[in-house]
Every structure is written in C-alpha cells, then in structure tokens.
A and B are shown apart, each in its own frame.
Chain A
C-alpha cells in the first residue's frame, strides 16, 4: 500500500532523475542509514563487528569497484586480489614512511596509488576483450602477489615477510592496531562505504557512467557518438582500482591488521569479488552490497546455525558450508541470472502493482 508511484508528480528533471524517485524507497533508505549510523554502533558486539560487519562493509567497497569495471564498463577482471594487495601495501608503505598522516588520508592515497597501477594493467584492454582480457588481468594478479612477496622493500625487510598495520587513531579513537574498538572500526568503514557508494552512484549515472555503459553494450556505437574507447576504458580501470585499492587498504589496516600477501590477497579473493557482483547483479550498486552480504554473511549464518544451533562438529559444518553456498549460487543463477538486484527490481515492480497482477 505504501509503495506507490501514484500521486507523485515530478515537476523537475532533477527530481525525476533522483536515485530514489519513490518516496517509500527514499524513506527506507534513510531508515537503513539511521540504523547503520545510530543503532548498530550502540548495540554492536565485538564478534559481530569483526567477523561480520567490517568485512561486509569492506567487501562492499571492493564489489562496487569491480562492478564499475565489469558490470558498468564490461571489462572482465580477475586481478581484484592483486589490486587489493596494491592498496594494502601502499597503505603500509605510506603509514611507515609518514607516521603522522591521518589514517583516512592514508587509505585514500592508497586508493590513488592503486588507481595508477590499475590504469597500467588496464592498457591491454584497448586491444583485447572478454576472456582474453580476463587472462591478462589474471597475469596482473599473479605478478603483483609475486612482486610483494619477492621484493623486500615492500615489506620493509621484515623477517617474516609479513606486513602489520601500526596503530592509528582519529578523533582520539583507535582505528587500527590491536587496541581499536569494534565500534570505531565499524564506524570508520561505514563512513567510507557511505561516501564511496554515493560517489559511485553519481559517477555511474552521469556522462562518464553512460560512456562506460556505452562501451559495454556496443563499443562501435559508442565510438560514433564521440566516446573515446581509450579514455572510457582507462577511466573505468582507474575508478574501479581506486575503490578496490581503498578496500584492500581497509582490509589490511582495519580488518586483518597483519597480512601475508599470498594468503590474504590470493587468486581466491579475485574470484570471491567476481562471485559477489555476479550473484548481486552486474551494473548495480545495490547489487554490489547484496552480493557482498550474500558471500560474507551467509557462511557466518550457516556456521552459527550448524554449529551453534544444531551442535554439529565444526569440520563437518565447514564442509557443508561450501556445499550449501555452492548450491545456493547455482540456484540463484538459474532462477535469476541477473542477480539479486534483478530479483529486488522484480519484487519492487510487483509491489508497485499489488494487489493487481498487471
């Protein structure tokens, strides 16, 4: 009953082009924001924050980043893990070189460094497409991990080859390091996620986003209306890598604290990010969140049900987790190949007409 377009008369194009043109959607969005910013920080417990919410938020940024490249611009990438590693190592090098720098600036600079690296590895996209590009980005993944493993400069010659995040605080609250509280980590990530999702939304609905989608849908037609494929593709690589780099920096500094590159940023992370956007929905910001939630939250949920509620042994539960997750992924892809975002859209369309079927 609440979900209606009727009675909403748009008198300006700006209002018609708003992200949430329907009032109910808008209020729901404000509601989610209020819960995320006000309710959760007061009620959060440490386990829930560190095992569920912080990784969910960080993976959302990574998924948005990959979605910009793959979902909006149509360039398949398997280098996400490698680009996250660039963000992480850039953050480490900046933090150790400039101890006084604010952690927020460190994270954003790391994104900037990753953007530059992303453009470099995006250059082959001007010549190759589809699966072949995926293989080229796979090379980036392996090369970057190898580089961070083999060149001691990147991990400041530490004996273990690991990097660990120094303690940094903002407004008197520890954000990184072992003393950081769950609320501080959560809020820090939340603010960044909120800002970056907003930026991504704006970029994808404007001229730049349209040029990406034009390249994705029909590159020849994009060219004849004036889109330079070089600039469109490389800008997509830059923006996407910026997001992934920020995600990688947060993953290292806030979430893990200490990182061994092959383990934390291996090829499986690239696949994980790709699963997220495929399940969530290509070319959708909401889909990036939905996919990240699905991949991050579901295993935690299943583990709690099987071990906590049913009392199964943990090793059996861990195996069943894979089975169930795999089956669900296949199920979702058969039922709705365009991901959770498309399911969500369909649900909204049905709701709009409810109780009438057409």
Chain B
C-alpha cells in the first residue's frame, strides 16, 4: 500500500497477517488546555495493518490523543509523521481526505437520517460529481450515486444490518447505532481507523459481534486500526500492540503479553495489590 517503507520491515503475526512499516508516528506530543497538561511528551507509532490499542485509566489522555490524530486538537509541542513525512497542521475535514476515519465514544450519528444515508455520508470523500450535476440528477452524478450505493450495500451486508437499512438511526438500539457508526467510518475506506471505545456499554454478545467485525475489517480490508477500550479481555485478545497512558504520560508500550506483565502498568492501571 505505502510507497515509503518505515524503519521496521514487514513482519507476519502468529495468525498470518502481514504488518508493514510505520504508518503514523507520534513524536513528543504535548497538549495543554490552559494550565492542564492532557498529554505530556508522548511518542509511539502505528504500523501498517496492525491493531493498536491505547489503554489507560479515565482521564489518562486517550481520547485527547485520538483528537490530536484526527485534527480536533493541535498539540503545543510534538510532530506527527505520516509514512515518513511530517504532517502539517490540518483541519479535521482535511485529515478525513487523507484517509483517517473514526467513531466516537458517545455515538455521533446523524440522528435525522436513515442508516443508509448515514453510511452514504461516509462516502463523502470518495464522491466527485459537481453540484450542478447533482441538481439535475443525470449522467455522472446518478451513476456515481449508484456505484457508491453498491459499496455501501456491501458494508451493510458485512455488518449484517440489512433490516435497518431505511430506519432513521435515532430509533435504533444502542448496539445497532454503534454498528452503524462503524459502518459510516468504514464507508470512507480509511487507511487508519480510530475507534473510541467501540464496545462501551455493550453486553457480552454485542461485544463479541463487535470484536469479530473489528478483526474482520483488519483482516479482510487490511485496515490499520487504533482503538481505545476499557475491557481488558477484549484489548488483550484483539490488539497486536498496546500503548498504556496514565495522567497524560506513556507508561508502557508493547505486545499485550509484555504490557500485562509490566509492573508500572499493573500499578497504574490495574491497581496496586493490597496485602
């Protein structure tokens, strides 16, 4: 996919997926809100094709980190490098055009629109027909609409949400809304998919479904995924590498097994054992 190879060469995981070079690298990111330092000098990288988890207790700066990656916040210090090139400060909609999509911790769907329209809106960056062609609904604009509808229908099939295609999303149950939101992010065919607590508030079955979708997205489309999650079991099962934050600082980085046995992580995140 990428023309630039990162410092690390390709590796193959135990389950046979290929993980490529560095897709995105955070270098010394510091983010302050007035006197509060939300993120302090954090560096880590995300490699092409991997599932990268960001974990940490509440207020550790995980969501702030995602907001920095997709351009809502601009860090006071530090740089973001994408495929070996330094990224300028961009607005969120420009970053979307570079192939980064995300979901939100508290669902941010377009409540007045149907499932289909929500996911079609996710195709925004892929559609080109000028407004005057849309206005007369003929020729290229109509063909483009139909072609994109086909892609959206594939996503609907993939997420198994065919029956709610034409339901306004405001009427859907929580778990379904989460799924539609994932669909909207997938519709953009992102190179990097950011998931902010994709399983928050779900029951075990819904979590299993969502885990399956995340693994399938990564496996079938080769999408790089960075996710924030509180459910440790899920994180350990899904992710290739984990970065651990606490009070805005990075306290651990490595494979799930490494992180699980790291004393600093255990102390900060899982709590210091009493004896």
Q: Which residues of A contact B (CB under 8 A)?
A: 12-14, 17, 199, 202-203, 205-211, 213-214, 216-218, 220-229, 235, 283
The prevalent SS among residues of A at the interface is helix
The answer to whether A229 touches B153 (Cβ under 8 A) is: no
- In the complex, chain B residues whose CB is within 8 Å of the CB of A207: 124, 127, 129, 134, 145
Contact indicator B124/A210 (Cβ below 8 Å)? yes
Pair B122/A202 contact, Cβ less than 8 Å: no
Q: How large is the interface on B (under 10, 10 to 19, 20 to 34, 35 or more residues)?
A: 35 or more
> Are A223 and B110 closer than 8 Å at their CB atoms?
no
Give complex CA distance A314, B97 in Å.
63
Within 8 A of A (CB), among B84-104: 91-93, 95-97, 101-102, 104
Please, how many angstroms separate the alpha-carbon atoms of A208 and B129 in the complex?
Answer: 10
Contact B146 A226 (CB under 8 A): no
Interface flag for B204 (CB, 8 Å)? no
B150 (CB) vs chain A CBs: closest residue:
A13
Contact of A226 among B104, B110, B188 (CB under 8 A): B188
Contact at B145–A206, with CB atoms within 8 Å? yes
Which residue on B lies nearest to A202, using beta carbons? B137
Q: Are B110 and A206 in contact (CB under 8 A)?
A: no
Chain A CB within 8 A of B177 CB? no
B residues near A226, Cβ cutoff 8 Å: 93, 96-97, 124-125, 188
B117: CB under 8 A from chain A? yes
Minimum CB–CB distance for B249 against chain A, Å: 26
B184 within 8 A of A: yes
Closest to B92 in A: A223
Residue pair B113, A210 in contact (C-beta under 8 Å)? yes
Q: In the complex, what's the smallest C-beta–C-beta distance from B221 to chain A, in angstroms? A: 17
B93–A235 contact, CB under 8 A? Answer: no
Complex Cα gap A209–B153 (Å):
20
B-side contacts of A17, CB under 8 Å:
145-146, 149
Chain A CB count within 10 A is highest, among B72, B145, B150, B185, for B145
Q: Does B255 contact A (CB under 8 A)?
A: no
Instruction: Tell me the chain B residues, 60-97 only, with Cβ under 8 Å from chain A.
Output: 70, 72, 91-93, 95-97
The answer to whether A211 touches B70 (Cβ under 8 A) is no
